[in-house]
């Protein structure tokens, strides 16, 4: 009989959690500071198991703001109490917690050589969906696993889009475009040289503060030059992002760049649709084997009104799934958290507009 008590972790658990962590892992340990952060934050699912008056184990699951994804960040069980179903109990309780909080899927990474853990995850319904080479401090590879924990009958087929993170704060557009092109042509270069090269081709020069991001027309031109088809959707004929800067000289530069992009675009005969792109349009593009880039505001992710390019990878009745190129290790958002990221349709509708003008824009990339 399993008499394990599972309860929310509390600050008083910190010494026992540190002792368990140090006994369980030789590398990649959570620090005292990290444990304290998660204990005080309250946003995530942090559970402790007690058995025989001992701290038998814990599970920490991250629930990132603005998404419907849960990720098992860490799990450990007291070695003296293994084989008692503690890990299973922790995972099942965490799944219920996350499903009750509207999370669609649970993800994790596990060492490829940890056969015992992989066997348990598979028994619980987790399926592999990728690998990370040289993932851990000791250079071991990681297997990525996923399980749908909400509406299990409503499975979604995703487009096969390789993940590529942006390497600067201002190259989300190039990174998103590279992922889109690589989904259509696996020979597409996924390198920082290509990322910066596309940025130089597509940048607006200025935007808000610092380096400018990328114009939808500039990104479309970059795709066209690389042999792809690119359809542009703009909700207005106004110059994109011009309301994001106040300085008149900067406004003039952005306007000049935009007009130059349009003149270049005319030589390619690429279509520009001056209308709002709808979720039905995105669904049609995916059904046709195309890859949509959509501009969003990051406010629902980080409470900052930053323009940001993402790749739409799938839709179902409730959610739109994206690849987000921005990794934020400070906020514990890593590559695993940013792939096939489920966003509710209603939230995505609010996210996919930017600025005072409520700009909606997208670039639909396809094969010629």
The tens digit of pLDDT for each residue in 323-335 reads 999 998 777 778 8
Both tokens assigned to 262? 């349009």
pLDDT reading at 300 higher than 90: no
What value does the mean pLDDT take over residues 24-39?
A: 92
H helices present in the chain, as ranges: 14-24, 32-41, 86-100, 115-123, 172-184, 192-202, 216-225, 248-266, 279-287, 299-302, 345-351
Beta carbons of 109 and 142 less than 8 angstroms apart: yes
* pLDDT at position 318: 86
What pLDDT does residue 333 have?
A: 79
Q: Indicate if the pLDDT at residue 265 is higher than 50.
A: yes
What is the rounded distance in angstroms from the CA atom of residue 111 to the CA atom of residue 114? 5
* Alpha-carbon gap, residue 270 to 220, rounded angstroms: 9
Model pLDDT, residue 133: 85
pLDDT category, 154, cuts 50, 70, 90?
A: very low
Q: Is 156's pLDDT higher than 70? A: no
Of residues 293 and 131, which shows the higher confidence score?
293
The C-alpha torsion from 83 through 89 and 90 to 92, rounded to 10°, is: 140
* CATH for 5-148, options being 3.20.20.70, 3.40.630.30, 3.40.50.2000, 3.40.50.80: 3.40.630.30
Choose among 133, 80, 82: nearest CA to 109.
133
Q: Where are the domains of the chain?
A: 5-148, 172-367
What pLDDT is recorded for position 291? 98
CATH of domain 172-367: 3.90.70.10
Is the pLDDT score of 209 beyond 80?
A: no
Nearest alpha-carbon partner for 342 in 362, 306, 318, 307: 318
CA angle, residues 88, 94, 97, in degrees to nearest 5: 145
Instruction: Return the pLDDT at 211.
Output: 61
Residues 212, 218 contacting (CB under 8 angstroms): no
Going by pLDDT thresholds of 50, 70 and 90, the confidence category of residue 114 is very high
pLDDT at 210 over 70: no
Identify which has the larger pLDDT, 205 or 8: 8
Confidence band for 1, pLDDT divided at 50, 70 and 90: very low
Q: Which of 293, 310, 307, 173 is nearest to 233 (CA)?
A: 293
């Amino acid at each position: 009989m399993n008499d394990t008590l599972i309860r929310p972790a509390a600050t008083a658990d910190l010494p026992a959690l540190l002792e368990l962590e140090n006994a369980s892992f030789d590398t990649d340990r959570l620090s005292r500071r990290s444990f304290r952060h998660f204990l005080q934050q309250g946003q995530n699912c942090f559970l402790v198991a007690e058995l025989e008056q001992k701290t038998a184990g814990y599970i920490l699951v991250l629930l990132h703001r603005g998404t419907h994804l849960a990720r098992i960040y860490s799990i450990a069980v007291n070695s003296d109490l293994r084989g008692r179903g503690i890990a299973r109990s922790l995972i099942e309780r965490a799944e219920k917690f996350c499903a009750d909080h509207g999370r669609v899927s649970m993800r994790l990474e596990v060492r490829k050589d940890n056969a015992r853990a992989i066997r348990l995850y598979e028994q619980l319904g987790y399926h592999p969906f990728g690998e990370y080479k040289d993932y851990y401090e000791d250079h071991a590879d990681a297997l990525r696993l996923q399980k749908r924990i909400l509406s299990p009958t409503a499975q979604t087929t995703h487009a096969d889009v390789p993940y590529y993170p942006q390497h600067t704060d201002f190259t989300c557009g190039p990174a998103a475009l590279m992922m889109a092109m690589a989904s259509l042509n696996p020979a597409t270069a996924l390198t920082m040289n290509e990322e910066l090269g596309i940025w130089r081709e597509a940048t607006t020069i200025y935007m808000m503060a610092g380096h400018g991001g990328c114009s939808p027309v500039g990104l479309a031109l970059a795709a066209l030059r690389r042999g792809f088809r690119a359809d542009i959707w703009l909700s207005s004929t106004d110059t994109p992002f011009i309301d994001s800067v106040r300085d008149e000289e900067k406004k003039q530069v952005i306007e000049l760049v935009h007009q130059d992009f349009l003149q270049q675009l005319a030589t390619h005969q690429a279509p520009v649709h001056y209308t709002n792109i709808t979720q039905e349009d995105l669904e049609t593009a995916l059904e046709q084997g195309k890859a949509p880039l959509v501009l969003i505001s990051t406010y629902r992710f980080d409470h900052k009104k930053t323009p940001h390019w993402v790749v739409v990878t799938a839709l179902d009745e409730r959610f739109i799934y994206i690849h987000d190129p921005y990794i934020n290790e400070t906020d514990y958002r890593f590559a695993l958290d940013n792939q096939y990221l489920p966003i509710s349709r209603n939230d995505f509708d609010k996210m996919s507009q930017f600025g005072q003008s409520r700009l909606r824009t997208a670039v639909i990339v396809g094969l010629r």
